Amino acid sequence: MNLERKAVDLRLEILDLICSAGTGHIGGDFSAIDILTYLYYEGMNISPDRVDDPDRDRFILSKGHAVEALYSVLADRGFFDRQALHNTYSRLGSPFIGHPNNQLPGIEMNSGSLGHGLPAAVGIALAGQMDGRPYYTYVLTGDGELAEGSVWEAFMAAPHFKLDHLVAFIDRNGLQISGRTEDVMPQGDLAGKLRLFGWEVQEIDGNSIPAIRAAVQHAKETQGRPSAIIADTVKGCGVSFMENRAGWHHRVPTAEEAAQARGELMQKARELDERSGK
């Protein structure tokens, strides 16, 4: 499977989902979708046929407001019905609410209250270690979320317990709803801080499938410590007028903007098809 092409298709899915529902966090969806694409189509041991397998890999979307990206991936993988998602997302009575809902297959925990995902992932990884299970626990946090104190308690705990089957992605797009993360709460040398805490740290292009693949493979080879992958991403990645703009943290495109975004994404899809000889 051409994962770069799949990520473009998923961006189109997310765009349609947000426009039909009239709500969503498209900027963070687009910054994170390449990470989700690699994990769900190649990197993780997970399947809609084995949602209760005790040895399945676990994924926690700590930045739960990017749920449109997760729902789109899970629907495409067959965890639930795509049409039901598009027809009911964020509507009264729908299970497809605006943050991950663990009543849906493939979702491990409700999330969205920022700062909770990494601590929960530490507990899940610790349980697997204690039970002798082979599964990996992956968690995706936002960079703005790192201002939460509970995240740093988890950053301290994971190396203490030598959780080498824990992989934490940090979607470092540099923007949050109120502006630049470095203006709201500076993080400085984030990689250096995490290394001092005892993490194996990699800094990568978080919108590059090959870079994500290599980072996950390195994390799986790391023993005796958890892995943090600082993914330098672009908020709104893939659509020119959304990229690196905090205003697209939570905004629904107008009809004209949606048409332009769709055109840009389809052009990218055509370029990828030509490159692959399709």
The DSSP secondary structure of 227-244, one letter per residue, reads EEEEEE--TTTT-TTTTT
| pLDDT (0 to 100) of residue 38 | 98
| pLDDT (0 to 100) of residue 277 | 78
3-276: CATH, from 3.40.50.970, 3.40.50.2000, 2.40.110.20, 3.90.550.10: 3.40.50.970
Residue 184 has pLDDT above 90, yes or no: no
Helix H or strand E encompassing 263 = helix 255-276
pLDDT band, very low/low/confident/very high, at 262 (cuts 50, 70, 90): very high
pLDDT band, very low/low/confident/very high, at 199 (cuts 50, 70, 90): very high
Q: How far is CA 106 from CA 23, 51, 77, 245, in A?
A: 22, 6, 10, 31
* Mean local confidence (pLDDT), 57-70: 97
Q: Are 67 and 100 in contact (CB under 8 A)?
A: yes
Residue 40 has pLDDT above 90, yes or no: yes
| pLDDT (0 to 100) of residue 192 | 98
Q: How far is CA 7 from CA 2, 39, 71, 82, 275, in A?
A: 9, 12, 14, 16, 16
Residue 271 has pLDDT above 90, yes or no: yes
* 42: alpha, beta or left? (left if phi > 0; alpha if psi -120 to 50): alpha
Question: How many angstroms from the chain centroid is the CA of residue 213?
Answer: 14
**pLDDT tens by residue, 202-249:** 999 999 999 999 999 999 999 999 999 999 999 999 999 999 999 999
* Mean local confidence (pLDDT), 93-108: 96
Give 45-54's long-range contacts (Cβ < 8 A, gap of 24+): 45/135, 45/136, 46/106, 48/77, 48/78, 48/79, 48/105, 48/106, 51/79, 51/105, 51/106, 54/133, 54/135
| pLDDT (0 to 100) of residue 177 | 83
Query: 3-class DSSP state for residue 47?
Result: coil
Residue spans of the domains in the chain: they are 3-276
Question: By C-alpha distance, which of 4, 26, 17, 1 is closest to 245?
Answer: 26
> Using CA atoms, how far apart are residues 204 and 185, in angstroms rounded to an integer?
22
User: Percent of the chain having pLDDT more than 70?
Assistant: 100
Q: Are 85 and 75 in contact (CB under 8 A)?
A: yes
> Using CA atoms, how far apart are residues 201 and 100, in angstroms rounded to an integer?
27
Residue 179 has pLDDT above 90, yes or no: no
| pLDDT (0 to 100) of residue 70 | 98
pTM of the model: 0.96
Q: Which two tokens stand for residue 23?
A: 């709500």
Mean pLDDT rounded to a whole number for the chain? 96
Residue 175 has pLDDT above 90, yes or no: no
Angle at alpha carbon of residue 97, lines to 95 and 119, rounded to 5°: 105
Question: How many angstroms from the chain centroid is the CA of residue 189?
Answer: 22
Query: 3-class DSSP state for residue 141?
Result: strand
* Mean local confidence (pLDDT), 70-91: 97
**pLDDT tens by residue, 107-150:** 999 998 899 999 999 999 999 999 999 999 999 999 999 999 99
Residue 160 has pLDDT above 90, yes or no: yes
Q: What count of residues does the chain have?
A: 278
| pLDDT (0 to 100) of residue 146 | 95
Question: By C-alpha distance, which of 175, 178, 120 is closest to 151?
Answer: 120
More confident residue, 183 or 13: 13
